[in-house]
Chains A and B, each alone.
Chain A
Amino acid sequence: MTQYETVIGLEVHLELKTNSKIFCSSSTSFGGKPNTHVCPVCLGLPGVLPVVNKKVVEDAILVALALNCRIAEFSKFDRKNYYYPDMPKNYQISQYDLPIALDGRLEIELDGKLKKIGITRLHMEEDTGKLVHQGTITTTPFSLVDYNRAGVPLLEIVSEPDLRSPEEARIYLEKLKSVIQYTGVSDCRMEEGSLRCDANVSVRQLGKEEFGTKAEIKNMNSFRSLQKALTYEVSRQIEVLEEGGRIVQETRTWDEGQGITLPLRSKEQAHDYRYFPEPDLVPMIIEREWVESVRNRLPELPDARRERYVRNYSLPDYDAGVLTSTKEMADYFEACLDAYPSPKTVSNWIMGDLSRLLNANNLEINDCPVSPVNLASLFKILDEGTISGKIAKVVFEEMFATGKDAGTIVKEKRLVQISDEGSLSAIVEEVIAGNPKSVSDYRSGKDKALGFLVGQVMKATKGKANPELVNKLFKEKILD
């Protein structure tokens, strides 16, 4: 059987979270009543003119720098012409042949190895409005248009066809999301549409240099559906070729319900966008000093932060990778360290119980009810011996549920560890008296039996007994 190689390139659209839109002062906030975040400019009324929001250009430069792009010295906007009712002007102001940034790269990790994925270009454009249908687009008797989103700034980031599998594509997108979140210019929420992704997919016989005919896949609304759609598309294309067919250059849409891609339009039906320079805007000359001042705004990016964690905190590379995967997670980690400078302990808790509870409750680290200072307070009373490690887990769950600090919970629930030898001695003796079999087992060398006996004390004290002390008491009383 012929071996095939997959070739994928991604086009990512990113909504910037500037306060105002790209060409007017209307608000960009998500979720307002339809057609309330609009003005004559973003509605494209007769006579209006766009004016570039400087913050958008600055954010574009910031992201471009984070992706190691070359920032153009001369850049301009163009009009992309096509008719669609969600576009107020029936053209989109975008960038065509002179984008703001070119030639970048993003490093991704595949099975422990680093791979550079080229970024062809990054450009700015305006978002469209949204159509609201009754039922589906084909059966609705009419459609309503909401222009709140029209004019929200977008960055389009186009990768080179360097991705060799659907999994690679997903990892690239995840990494891209992480880097962009670090820059703080976008929420990158695929579900809300602030991060959108189209893919160009083709396959070729292994060893061949020439690219196969590609299909463009749209409508993938999560990382999972990206990988699923691409996996489906790759196998579809291979199947077509294996059956002696030819791949048609076309745009296909991912049908999540059916789990297949469906043809949307052929190359012949593709729009002729009639790009031409936007005459209402003057070209931009991007001064190097400006670029450098934006560069100074660039935060430490995930790769650098990860390295620092390994180097300075002696964390395992894997842990450092998890902790730095989002800026919020890493910031949380470091805030904990400020209050409790023991990286390994903090890291274990964050990656363990904290992550488990966040996932179970569908929460992001930013919404975590346990503040870094509170988490540190837990570690402190643990160190002081006020509670046992086992009780700490109980306290933590309570902290997560109520947002209270560890000390308060320990007090309220009377969870203070019993380290008083006198009172524990009595309980230990009761357990020895009630479990002769285990006692003799332990005496004859079966260490396991000790565990059982300690467990009985824990049961009797509702877990509050100091385990080290209980161990010591059993050893003294049985073996001596």
Chain B
Amino acid sequence: MSLYYLTAHELHDLLLKKEISAVEVNEAVFNRIESVEDGVKAYLTLTRDQAMRTAQSVDDMINAGRPIPPLAGIPVAIKDNICTEGVRTTAASKIIYNFIPPYDATVVKKLAGQHIAMTGKTNLDEFAMGSSTENSGFFATHNPWNRDCVPGGSSGGSAAAVAAGEAICAIGSDTGGSIRQPAAFCGVVGIKPTYGAVSRYGLIAFASSLDQIGPFTRDVTDCALMLNAICGHDPLDATSSTYEVQDFRRCLVNDIKGLKIGVPREYMSEGIDAEVRQVIEKTMSLLEMNGARIEETSLPHLGYSLPVYYLIAPAEASSNLARYDGVRYGFRSEGAQDVVDMFMKTRSQGFGAEVKRRIMLGTYVLSAGYYDAYYLKALKVRTLIKEDFNKAFEKFDILLSPTTPSPAFRFGEKTGDPLKMYLSDVFTIAVNLAGIPGLSIPCGFVNGLPVGLQLMGRPFSEGKLLQAAYTFEQNTDHHKKHPEL
């Protein structure tokens, strides 16, 4: 087995046994990048030297007989909307194509504290706005399972990198499904933690009340390790929770006896592919065989998720993205007549079409005379959606659904119709609106493309989701399959 397809915990064991060195692990991954990156295009920036230096220092620690943290020396890719000190961070937008942050995001700092080896910065839909990574201001990323298909988005680069062996783990961000949907499309594990569980400091904001950082991994154990590394209160993020973080490794128990799982009927009816439904039904029987009690339930307001999301997220985005004006950093259009002209030219030329569409949408819904009808109404419906979940969680430990209604689609299939594109997030968006955790785990294949199972839980019930996912994983071998590249 190639080193680049091992998991972090497997590599850690080998490092401790001194069967391999961290430098060898990183060399294996960077060689893999060299051989497949042209076909995948997961990365916007590679930081090989930095990774090798870290790997060397980890080897030094091991050789000196010092203890190393579980993720030490593990090659981890970071989504390029997360700030890295001294390393270009673009959010895949031309408008900050040359931005080099003078500071690290809190997650990056925390991971550096664990001595992870950062492989580089991964591609995404510009400012995380999209579901296919086709909206990247630079180039599209390909799905390692079928290079004619999209890897999902917006964290397509991170998901593809892990699936292709171009990183062992990766960090992404999820505003409406941007971790879970690409995880499903690329056949890896991805979790969007509870809103406030992971600091957003240093995450280039798309929609502040929905954004959350989370990991991509090859299995549930690695997911637990990554969560251990990144969760926790951050005084630099006023919305980060003071909830006490548990050691998620304790949740890696192969047991779901008596676990009450609800399946919202709204998730199983709306435009879901027949083959995907079959895979999910098979998954449900397997969970029942292992002792889970599965029942149908309902989230009556779920149907409003998409419209509510496309009012709230663009509203916040229109304000969050106002700072990209050419004055202080990034791209500035030449030849402007005056400052207003400079703003207009810079923003017209610097932003891509989807970003502009959302800025306009958001500006409109916040405008005088429309605020109450759109934004305020959306906030109220958001509360109803939250209440639906609260109610369901009175009865069920977790909720289950397909992560996406269909597997990865082809390039260009949805780019002409924004609404069609938006619909690919229809199953993931409500989780962000409710602020609850959502995990996607590979649960089968349709026509050679992975299918994802989404597990949702109460706020800060990541442990419960991990336990259910771990149990499922122990009784299946989807996570052991790798794309041929």
Contacts and interface: CB of A to CB of B under 8 A. Distances in A.
Does chain A bind chain B? yes
Contacts of A89: 322-323
Contacts of B446: none
B239 A282 contact: yes
Contact of B103 (A40, A51, A280): A40
A86 to B, nearest CB: 9
Contacts of A275: 366
Given A47-B83, A81-B366, A274 B238 contact: no
A143 B327 CA distance: 10
Given A47-B105, A51-B235, A274-B363, A279 B209 contact: yes
A47 B208 contact: no
A24 to B, nearest CB: 9
B368 interface: yes
A79 B343 contact: no
Nearest to B342: A85
Interface in B67-90: 81-83, 89
B483 to A, nearest CB: 32
A43 B105 contact: no
Given A85-B327, A91-B322, A280-B208, A272 B236 contact: no
Which size class do A's interface residues fall under? 20 to 34
B96 A50 contact: no
Contacts of B101: 40, 45-47
A469 B322 CA distance: 83
Interface string A62-96: 00000000000000000101010100111100000
A291 interface: no
Given A274-B366, A276-B366, A46 B238 contact: no
Given A45-B102, A45-B329, A89-B322, A276 B375 contact: yes
Contacts of A260: none
| B contact face: mostly helix, strand, loop, or mixed | loop
B126 interface: no
A47 B339 contact: no
Contacts of A276: 315-316, 319, 366, 371, 375
A279 B316 contact: yes
- Which residue of A47, A49, A143, A279 has the most chain B CB atoms within 10 A of its CB atom? A47
A90 B327 CA distance: 11
A49 B201 contact: yes
Contacts of B170: none
B204 interface: yes
B98 interface: no
B356 to A, nearest CB: 16
A43 to B, nearest CB: 7
A47 B238 contact: no
B322 A48 contact: no
B320 to A, nearest CB: 8
A88 B327 CA distance: 9
Nearest to A143: B339
A83 B325 contact: yes
B469 interface: no
Contact of A47 (B205, B239, B327): B205
B328 interface: yes
A39 to B, nearest CB: 9
Interface in A288-328: none
A79 B319 contact: yes
Contact of B238 (A52, A90, A91): A52
Contacts of B99: 46
A145 interface: yes
B238 A83 contact: no
B83 A46 contact: yes
Nearest to A281: B238
B323 A46 contact: yes
Interface string A260-296: 0000000000001011100111100000000000000
Contacts of B236: 49, 51
A44 interface: yes
B91 interface: yes
Nearest to A145: B327
Given A43-B328, A47-B201, A49-B200, A88 B323 contact: yes
Contacts of B465: none
Contact of A83 (B102, B237, B315, B322): B322
Contact of B208 (A88, A272, A274, A279): A279
A90 B323 contact: yes
A81 B237 CA distance: 21
A46 B367 contact: no
B89 to A, nearest CB: 7
Contacts of B182: none
B107 to A, nearest CB: 11
Interface in A184-202: none
B203 interface: yes
Contacts of B203: 47
Nearest to A90: B322
B444 interface: no
B373 to A, nearest CB: 14
Contacts of B328: 43-45, 88, 145
A49 B238 contact: yes
Given A44-B323, A281-B239, 17 more contacts: A46-B204, A47-B89, A47-B202, A47-B204, A48-B201, A49-B200, A49-B237, A51-B235, A51-B236, A83-B322, A83-B343, A85-B327, A88-B328, A89-B322, A90-B325, A279-B208, A280-B208
10 contacts: A46-B204, A47-B83, A48-B103, A48-B202, A51-B237, A81-B322, A81-B366, A85-B327, A91-B322, A274-B319
Interface of B: 81-83, 89, 91, 96, 99, 101-103, 105, 200-205, 207-209, 235-239, 315-316, 318-319, 322-323, 325, 327-329, 339-340, 343, 363, 366-368, 371, 375
